[in-house]
A and B are shown apart, each in its own frame.
Chain A
């Protein structure tokens, strides 16, 4: 799949932002006034910024309101509703914490639940895709949720939780890579089933339908950059998981916390780039490609 920078930025940044909102919503930290303002501003900048980045991916963002209508069947529609509901509920909750120094606990917990729901619906957009076997796994929502909570704990200064959740997310990441590398073969979709010609003999793509590129090849059959997949996995794992945990284990200093956040975001961006670049869509089989 084509690793669109807008989608990579959206899923990484908004995942972090909504993760931070979960911790803020349940009162960890339960700060008020200007400190709470800074926390909420960071959460909104990440979550809202991610949402704006994702709008650049649309051909017609001016029709975006229609995306709130199809929650019965569409995970993307559910995500849009969850995201806007989270931002609205958390805004009301933030007013209490920042300006009135009061903690409206039920509202905070509702906001936290909606924020988790947003991350879950985002992950299900990918996990539902039968056409991309690497994504179609319960490990996909598990990884997204754990990453969001772990990264959120890192931003919220919940060191003890971050030290549990980030290693857990790292284990999930390794498991996700391990099962992803086997998923396409396990899906049973091959050139033989794609063409129905397997009963005659072995099928080879002889001539493509077009000599140039097209939307399908650009969007779904992105093979450039898989060359460095192993190196990028190492970079993603070290920067996204190992280094932040190591920095948190050092004696506490704000500069280590900041470095841990920067390292984590860089690592997760690399991991998210691979999430798309390594994902093989079955339509590639019609072109004899993966």
Chain B
């Protein structure tokens, strides 16, 4: 049924820290690996070793340059996957009932056996979270690794989405965002977690933690305590270069 549940018992989702993400793309690779070998149709590639490679990914990392009014520009790496919106527009447009949002945990999933591959859900998503698989001809999206997080065959430490498990800089956190006492909710409260495109009215569950203010080395006077020891010992070239310098000066 593609009508949305009136409420969900939990809101499982991700909190992504834009301050600590180093843009290594490990989450992209681990996501592709896990989701190619497990739940649903594999994430195919087209012409992977040819001149025009392309493929299906559920998680991608953009990089942005942010230029403040004064001071140095800042580079922000920006992982983006399904935000498992409370008011998911991708679900309600689905004509077949293949797209659905689960009442028990809020995860947005696609029943690939019912997907006709019309692509309308990808049009409805403002975040580009859904990609049609060109081999299976069905819509693929982040499942929040639904086949890991409830999987009793895995050690408990592995029962988180593959992207969270693999992140070397701890920039991705997984938990229940409906519980104000959960680690992720506290992180969102402490760091001012934000919604992407709030004006679209999607009410995303996933939150993004903004980058912390950068040190301003150009404006702090006390940063160079070692500077006297680092002063150049000589600023006059010697030997051949010294001769060349003097010779050129005389010209």
Known contacts A63-B96, A64-B116: does B56 contact A196 (CB below 8 Å)? no
The reply to whether B122 and A220 contact each other, CB–CB distance below 8 Å, is yes
Tell yes or no: B66 within 8 A of A by CB: yes
Min distance, Cβ B94 to any Cβ of chain A, angstroms: 6
Min distance, Cβ A248 to any Cβ of chain B, angstroms: 37
Min distance, Cβ B185 to any Cβ of chain A, angstroms: 18
Flag B213-251 by CB within 8 Å of A: 1 or 0 each.
000000000000000000000000000000000000000
Tell yes or no: B197 within 8 A of A by CB: yes
**What residue of chain B has the Cβ atom nearest to residue A63's Cβ?**
B116
The reply to whether B123 and A132 contact each other, CB–CB distance below 8 Å, is yes
B88-141 interface (Cβ within 8 A of A): 89, 91-98, 114-120, 122-128, 131-132, 134, 136-138
The reply to whether A59 and B93 contact each other, CB–CB distance below 8 Å, is no
The reply to whether B123 and A74 contact each other, CB–CB distance below 8 Å, is no
Tell yes or no: B53 within 8 A of A by CB: yes
Tell yes or no: A160 within 8 A of B by CB: no
Tell yes or no: B196 within 8 A of A by CB: yes
Tell yes or no: B191 within 8 A of A by CB: no
Interface residues of B (CB under 8 A from A): 1-4, 18, 25, 28, 52-57, 60-69, 73-76, 78, 80, 89, 91-98, 114-120, 122-128, 131-132, 134, 136-138, 194-201, 208, 210-211
Min distance, Cβ A246 to any Cβ of chain B, angstroms: 37
Residues of chain B with a CB closer than 8 A to A125's CB: 93, 120
Residues of chain A with a CB closer than 8 A to B18's CB: 197
Residues of chain A with a CB closer than 8 A to B138's CB: 59-60
The residue from A200, A203, A212 contacting B52, defined by CB atoms under 8 A apart = A212
The stretch among A35-43, A222-230, A233-241, A280-288 that forms the contact with chain B is: A280-288
Residues of chain B with a CB closer than 8 A to A205's CB: 62-65
Known contacts A74-B2, A219-B119, A220-B123: does B94 contact A60 (CB below 8 Å)? no
Min distance, Cβ B115 to any Cβ of chain A, angstroms: 7
Within the assembled complex, what's the spacing in Å between the Cα atoms of A220 and B122?
9
Residues of chain A with a CB closer than 8 A to B126's CB: 130-131, 189, 194, 282-283
Residues of chain A with a CB closer than 8 A to B67's CB: 201-202, 204
The reply to whether B200 and A189 contact each other, CB–CB distance below 8 Å, is yes
Interface residues of A (CB under 8 A from B): 1, 57-61, 63-64, 66-67, 69-70, 72-77, 80, 125, 128-132, 187-189, 191, 193-197, 199-210, 212-216, 219-220, 281-283, 286-287
Known contacts A60-B115, A60-B117: does B97 contact A196 (CB below 8 Å)? no
Known contacts A131-B126, A206-B75, A216-B131: does B95 contact A70 (CB below 8 Å)? yes
Residues of chain B with a CB closer than 8 A to A210's CB: 54, 57, 60
The reply to whether B62 and A286 contact each other, CB–CB distance below 8 Å, is yes
The reply to whether A215 and B194 contact each other, CB–CB distance below 8 Å, is no
The reply to whether A213 and B119 contact each other, CB–CB distance below 8 Å, is no
Min distance, Cβ B91 to any Cβ of chain A, angstroms: 8
Known contacts A128-B93, A129-B123: does B118 contact A199 (CB below 8 Å)? no
The residue from A193, A197, A207 contacting B199, defined by CB atoms under 8 A apart = A193
**What residue of chain A has the Cβ atom nearest to residue B199's Cβ?**
A188
Within the assembled complex, what's the spacing in Å between the Cα atoms of A1 and B119?
12
Residues of chain B with a CB closer than 8 A to A76's CB: 93, 95, 118, 120
Extra contacts besides A73-B93, A200-B74 (12): CB < 8 Å: A70-B1, A74-B92, A130-B201, A131-B125, A132-B123, A189-B199, A193-B197, A194-B196, A206-B63, A212-B54, A215-B131, A286-B128
The residue from B57, B61, B92, B127 contacting A283, defined by CB atoms under 8 A apart = B127
Min distance, Cβ A36 to any Cβ of chain B, angstroms: 33
Min distance, Cβ B96 to any Cβ of chain A, angstroms: 4
The reply to whether B199 and A1 contact each other, CB–CB distance below 8 Å, is no
The residue from B52, B91, B195 contacting A196, defined by CB atoms under 8 A apart = B195
The reply to whether B115 and A189 contact each other, CB–CB distance below 8 Å, is no
Min distance, Cβ B136 to any Cβ of chain A, angstroms: 8
The reply to whether A59 and B122 contact each other, CB–CB distance below 8 Å, is no
Known contacts A130-B200, A220-B123: does B115 contact A63 (CB below 8 Å)? yes
**What residue of chain B has the Cβ atom nearest to residue A64's Cβ?**
B116
Residues of chain B with a CB closer than 8 A to A193's CB: 196-199
A-B pairs, top 10 by smallest CB distance, nearest first, are A59-B117, A59-B137, A209-B60, A66-B96, A201-B68, A77-B95, A283-B128, A76-B95, A67-B95, A207-B63
Within the assembled complex, what's the spacing in Å between the Cα atoms of A187 and B199?
8
**What residue of chain A has the Cβ atom nearest to residue B93's Cβ?**
A74
Within the assembled complex, what's the spacing in Å between the Cα atoms of A146 and B148?
52
Within the assembled complex, what's the spacing in Å between the Cα atoms of A132 and B65?
25
Within the assembled complex, what's the spacing in Å between the Cα atoms of A196 and B18?
10
Min distance, Cβ B119 to any Cβ of chain A, angstroms: 7
Within the assembled complex, what's the spacing in Å between the Cα atoms of A30 and B123?
42
The reply to whether B123 and A70 contact each other, CB–CB distance below 8 Å, is no
